[in-house]
Structure 1
Amino acid sequence: MNVSLRQLRAFIAVASEGHFTRAADKLNLSQSSVSALVHELEANLGLRLFDRHTRLLQITQAGAELLPLVKKAVDDIDSVIENSSELRTLGRGRVSIAASSVQAALMLPRFIRQFCIEYPGVKVELHDVAEHEVPQMVRMGEVDFGIGTEADSKLDLAAHLLSSDAFVVVMRPDHALARKRELRWQDLADMPLIGPRHGNPIRERLDSALQAEGITLSRLHEVYLPLTMVGMVEAGLGIAVMSTAVSRLAAGLGLVVKTVTNPVIQREVSLLFHAGRSLSPTAQHFRDLLIRSKQVLAEQ
């Protein structure tokens, strides 16, 4: 059976108008074309849909029973076509992003606002999570893409570099290290440090780089979220080794941020995608917005 959408539309038009010529005018087709389409549909279905007399056209019982079903099928197809057009032109849709709490708070909001002004019909969902959850959410298909640190094991993930952060020490202004002109990693050896837990991609990047230099750091306090780390520093519980992404937040609380040298260690901030999945048009546009804004991100 090879029923076409043109045949179904012709059937609906003829049933609605009760006349082949008026149906042809409605469809902007010739009368012979409409008649042929209805004949083809009847042949495909094995049913007579209309009784044709010299001056009378009457829908059969079979045709009358099929008509509401055909109308619904055509309406559903029209809805699919309309929705796909809106998705393609970004008249509607959804973008889902996972990012660590700092990136979600300090980097993405301005881009979300810019995107929503340009495409008001698109909903942007931002998942602010712990750093180690970002690649996991991308892998599981819970989000379109993530903003985070590229993991070493990335066979199922693709990454596009956006910016890089240096590792810094965040401390209170009255801390002894705040008066030093230059900080070295050896200066932190005996300090009560605050940092992320094991398994955090940022910690793994830092520990791996320091291990190559023969340096090991110990954390007195281990927590998940950067905001908690900054709060603990502000409360005088120790100093935190973090990335420069927290600088604005730390400065807002009156804390001191110092880069550690010998060596200066950086971590990369990337767009993370699932290598085996295509992005929707809306997600592609948001991704492209971030990629075009790499210089702005680097300045942040």
Structure 2
Amino acid sequence: MPDDEVHGVLDLVQRDIELSWLRAFMAVHESGSFTAAADRIHRAQSRVSAQVAHLERALGVQLFVRSRRATSLTEAGEELLPYVRTVLQQLTEGVSAATSQDGHVRGRVTVSAFPGAAAFVVAPTIRRFCDTYPQARVVVKEDLPNPATAVARGDTDLAVFYDGEIELPRSVRADFLLRERVVCVMPSDHPAVGMSAVPASIFETDAVILTSIANGYSDSRVILQQAGVRPLGEYSVGQPTTAKALVAVGVGLGLLPELAAAMLDTGDQVTMVPVDHPAFERDVHTLVNKERLYPPVIKEFIKTLHAQAREMDVASPGLALDQERG
């Protein structure tokens, strides 16, 4: 924890502030209104309002701008927010660590992952982890706009994210998890079907259908540029299912990360073939907060996640596709 956060947390403790006030503060911030916060933490609205008022009086500042439409943080509230989040987070993790001393791992883990990794890596990890530690609970958070920032802020305990143009906050570390291929999706009657791998130049013989990096798949244009490939045309879509449909009707060749491709119900319409070029692969990492004291439940989940990835051997040719075919 950075020194400024340590001093901020100590100041909260020295003011003899009740945890219920902090929980009410966080609930109002995260819910956007006192009414929604009351529903969220199962308290009367009047009680939530009173607890926030107690906190404001103790600090001598106004924390929220109250209006009929919405409730938002004041500048003082914005300053307080990271310290309150740290206090509540560290308390939860301390309780988890203390109650796990009897050898039974307890507590909650929150993990974020892009769709392909969630389906083929995180899902079996959760099953394996919960079978081993039945008193633990895992929460999956999807569609986080910036997983690295979410890990830094404590909105999620860890994230599974692919290598790319992402700037990591100071508190976040990326640990290698697996290497994933980016494959060519072609119609099932394409002449290259049956090849163990196709050259990157195959994308110069047709239009290429790309998925959006904004949807967590791949920055395919960068891959093509690194391979020195200039397609005849280009179509950009949001989801792998759309890419598959366009390939099936002959619009062009698709370019998908292997884990995303493995999620598709291809039927007899399209086939996925590896591309024989080093640019057509990407590293997938776990993002963790190196400044947090993770309790046993989170540490064990991370260990299980990496063990699952090693046993899957994703870096080997054909991992996800071979599993799907098998």
TM-score, L = length of structure 1: 0.60
Letter in 1 for 2:312: L
When residues 261 and 96 of structure 1 are mapped into structure 2, their CA distance, relative to the original with a 3 A threshold, is same
- Over 3 Å counting, the alpha-carbon distance change for 1:198 and 1:250 in structure 2 is closer
Distance 2:278 2:94 in 1: 57
Aligned: 1:285 with 2:307: no
Instruction: Indicate the residue corresponding to 1:9 in structure 2.
Output: none
Q: TM-score, normalised by structure 2?
A: 0.56
Written as runs of structure 1 = structure 2, the 5 A alignment for 1:3-18 is none
Residue 136 of structure 2 corresponds to residue 122 of structure 1: yes
CA RMSD of aligned residues (A): 3.4
Map 1:22-101 → 2, pairs under 5 A: 85-87=98-100, 89-101=103-115
Give yes or no for the alignment of 1:112 onto 2:112: no
| Other-structure match for 2:283 | 268
How many angstroms apart in 2 are the aligned matches of 1:82 and 1:186? 57
Worse-matched range after superposition: 116-125 or 234-243: 234-243
How much does 1:274 deviate? 2.9
Q: Distance in 2 between matches of 1:201 and 1:81?
A: 33
1:162 and 2:205 matched: no
Give the secondary-structure state (helix, strand or coil) at the position aligned to 2:228. Answer: coil
Q: Could you tell me which amino acid in structure 1 is paired with residue 188 of structure 2?
A: P
Higher mean displacement: 230-239 or 134-143:
230-239
- 1:104 Cα offset (Å): 1.1
Is the 8 Å Cα contact of residues 166 and 264 (structure 1) preserved in structure 2?
no
Q: Secondary structure at the match of 2:275?
A: strand
Distance 1:164 1:282 in 2: 26
Q: How many Å apart are 1:143 and its aligned residue?
A: 0.9
**Residue in 2 aligned with 1:102?**
116
Structure showing greater Rg: 1
Structure 2 unaligned regions, length at least 5? 1-92, 320-326
**Cα–Cα, structure 1 residues 191 and 144, in superposed 2: closer, same or farther, change >3 Å?**
same
Q: Distance in 2 between matches of 1:191 and 1:82?
A: 58
Shift in CA distance, 174/208, structure 1 to aligned 2, threshold 3 Å: same
CA distance in 2, matches of 1:248, 1:81: 40
Match of residue 222, structure 1, among 218, 237, 240 = 237
Q: How many residues align?
A: 219
